[in-house]
Amino acid sequence: MTRLSLGILAAACGVAAPALARAQAAAEPLQLAALQREAREADARRRELELLASQADLRVRNIDVERLPAVTASGQSQYQSDVPTAPFALPNGEPAFATPRFTYDASLRVDQRLFDPSIDARRALVLADSADAQARVRTSLFALRQEVNDAFFAAALLQEQLGAVTASIDELDARLRETSARVREGAALVGDAAAVEATLLRSRQQADELRASRAAALARLSRLTGRSIDAASPAAMPDLSAAVADTRATLDAKRARPEYEQFDRARDRTARQQDLSAAAERPQLSAFGRVGYGRPGLNFIDDRAETYALGGVQLQWKAWTWGASSRERDALAIQRDIVAAEEAAFTSGVRRAIESDLASIDRLRAALASDDRIVELREAIDRAARARLREGATTAAEYVDRQTELVTAEFDRARHRVELAAAQARLLTTLGLEVR
């Protein structure tokens, strides 16, 4: 861009920026915190939390019903080619007894658990599994925050650039008409008008590029939040200075990332698996009863069909497992150590990640303090150059240079403001804190 076009751009910023601001004020401002919440609510994975809770509830109910009596109905009919008979005969020559070759039986059995330590252990494990799965879902949803941050601050930066370029187009158009009139009057060269027109065309191209880029950023936000976003909606810069100051004072105590909950749930799941392994070694006691009708009944040497009943208690105990249960508990203890190592590595990674953000925040704050003074000095220089131009003590090219320097200073300050807000939001997001 030439010196003349930059000077025109500087003058246009002051003329058309208020009009752009009024247009943006008509649309609802985009708030970063609200966009992050909307993105979480709109994501399809959020429904997984309810589904996982429902799934765990069903499995827990299935385990709970094992405490109730279990009723089993069975029936059988068969024909045998051979059956046991008495080794001695009656006076009439018939055997003393003979089991019938054709038999049938129908029965109803009831089993009742009296003592089963595995029920509570399995129930606790199901709940721990569900909590672990839900923690993983929350961790995956957390990544949406940074996606929203990136799209939001990209739109904010493009908004600043588009405002300046859009404002310059009307001024360039007016300056082109003025220069063309001076060319017709012989007070300016044809090349002057050509230079203004070329700059105008280039500014329009830049405006189209910026609109397309900002539309892409807003489209990403729209996809993330699940709602349409007006292209005229301005991005409202969040004031995060107080939150960052509070955070820096307690960095080592911050454990707001959802990954920490996931580590806790993984440890709890391992503990519940150990409890189940220990419960499997304990004896189980149950009572049972059976009533039925069959031929024969319980008296297998009787050829008649009859009803019968029986009942009792049953003990099951894996008294010797060759050390399998102990080895399983040792393996689960190792898994707990693995989770602890992963948590320590994650914490170290978070600390490394925020170092660059902390350095950027300090650098940008210092730059903004200098930017205010630089803009103040450039404005004073611009006023002096404008006065000399009116008096004919300076050339238009020199005045355009001063205007260009002022615009550059103002653009740098605006860019630093956006970059500072982005670095602050990235710091809070990396630590798992809400942007408010």
Q: How far apart are CA 387 and CA 390, in angstroms?
A: 5
| Angle at the Cα of 336 from the Cα atoms of 334 and 339, rounded to 5 degrees | 115
> Given pLDDT bands bounded at 50, 70 and 90, which one contains residue 2?
very low
**pLDDT for res 318:** 85
CATH code of the domain containing 278: 1.20.1600.10
Domain contains 235? yes
For the purposes of burial, counting CB atoms within 10 Å of the CB of 361, is it exposed (0-12), middle (13-18) or buried (19 or more)?
A: buried
Residue where the block lists tokens 């807003």: 218
> Given pLDDT bands bounded at 50, 70 and 90, which one contains residue 14?
very low
Please determine, for residue 189, whether its predicted confidence score (pLDDT) is greater than 50.
yes
Mean pLDDT along residues 7-17: 43
pLDDT digits (tens, 9 = 90+) for 65-84: 999 999 999 999 988 887 77
Domain contains 435? no
Domain contains 87? no
pLDDT digits (tens, 9 = 90+) for 306-356: 999 999 999 998 888 888 888 988 999 999 999 999 999 999 999 999 998
Q: How far apart are CA 164 and CA 367, in angstroms?
A: 21
Q: Measuring CA to CA, how many Å separate 132 from each of 46, 98, 129, 144, 275?
A: 15, 63, 5, 20, 17
More confident residue, 210 or 166: 210
Q: Check residue 432 and report its DSSP letter.
A: T
Strand partners, 107: 74, 292
Q: Check residue 393 and report its DSSP letter.
A: S
Rounded to 5 degrees, φ, ψ at 235 are: -90, 120
Q: How far apart are CA 157 and CA 370, in angstroms?
A: 20
Domain contains 90? no
Structural domain span for residue 298: 3-82+96-430
Domain contains 281? yes
Split into its structural domains, the chain has a count of: 1
Please determine, for residue 290, whether its predicted confidence score (pLDDT) is greater than 90.
yes
**Least confidently predicted of 129-133, 266-270, 283-287, 379-383:** 379-383
Do residues 8 and 172 make contact, with C-beta atoms less than 8 angstroms apart?
Answer: yes
Domain contains 373? yes
Domain contains 158? yes
Mean pLDDT along residues 98-102: 78
Strand 102-115 and strand 306-316: pairing?
Answer: unpaired
Is the pTM of the predicted complex or chain greater than 0.85?
no
